[in-house]
């Protein structure tokens, strides 16, 4: 399997623009997670899905952030409008049947908002 795939790998945008990050989980995995890594807060969970259904979005920082999973092989994380403080590395991860199993991480998207 190709592993978790994320795109783009790097994104530079200007404040106020809409940003869409994409993730393709490992085929057959039921759980999908979005994490964010910043210098100040480290790695933290934003939202996760089970069988395409959002289960917990309490980690989403504010209403400017939204995530969807229209099917088992695709998820998006959208920031609208983007702000400089959103600059971070965004990781997508997936696990097979439950979160108690190994979570496999994608390569991340490095976002810079100017």
Partner 1 sequence: GIQVEQSPPDLILQEGANSTLRCNFSDSVNNLQWFHQNPWGQLINLFYIPSGTKQNGRLSATTVATERYSLLYISSSQTTDSGVYFCAVLYSGGGADGLTFGKGTHLIIQP
Residues linked to residue 22 through DSSP beta bridges, in sequence order: 7, 76
Judged by CB under 8 A, the stretch of 17-25, 35-43, 64-72, 74-82 that binds partner 1 is 35-43
Closer CB to partner 1, 62 or 100, in the complex: 100
Closest distance of CB 81 from partner 1, Å? 25
Would you state the structure tokens that stand for residue 59, as one six-digit string? 């980690």
Return the SS3 of 86.
helix
* Contacting residue, 1, 62, 63, 102, with partner 1 by CB under 8 A: 102
Q: Is 74 in the site for partner 1 (CB under 8 A)?
A: no
- Give the count of residues interacting with partner 1 (CB under 8 A): 26
Q: Is 42 in the site for partner 1 (CB under 8 A)?
A: yes
Strands (E), 39-87: 42-50, 53-56, 65-71, 74-79
Q: Which of residues 1-30 bind partner 1 (CB under 8 A)?
A: none
Q: How far are the Cα atoms of 14, 24, 49, 86, 88 from residue 42, in angstroms, in the given order?
A: 23, 23, 21, 13, 10
């Amino acid at each position: 399997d190709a592993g978790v795939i994320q795109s783009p790998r790097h994104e530079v945008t200007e404040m106020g623009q809409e940003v869409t990050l994409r993730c393709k989980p490992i085929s057959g995995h039921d759980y999908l997670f979005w994490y964010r890594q910043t210098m100040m807060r480290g790695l933290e969970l934003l939202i996760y899905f089970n069988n395409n259904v959002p289960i917990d979005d309490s980690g989403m920082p504010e209403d400017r952030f939204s995530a969807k999973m229209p099917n088992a092989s695709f998820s998006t994380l959208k920031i609208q409008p983007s702000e400089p403080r959103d600059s971070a590395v965004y990781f997508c991860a997936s696990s097979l049947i439950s979160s108690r199993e190994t979570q496999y991480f994608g390569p991340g998207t490095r976002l810079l908002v100017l």
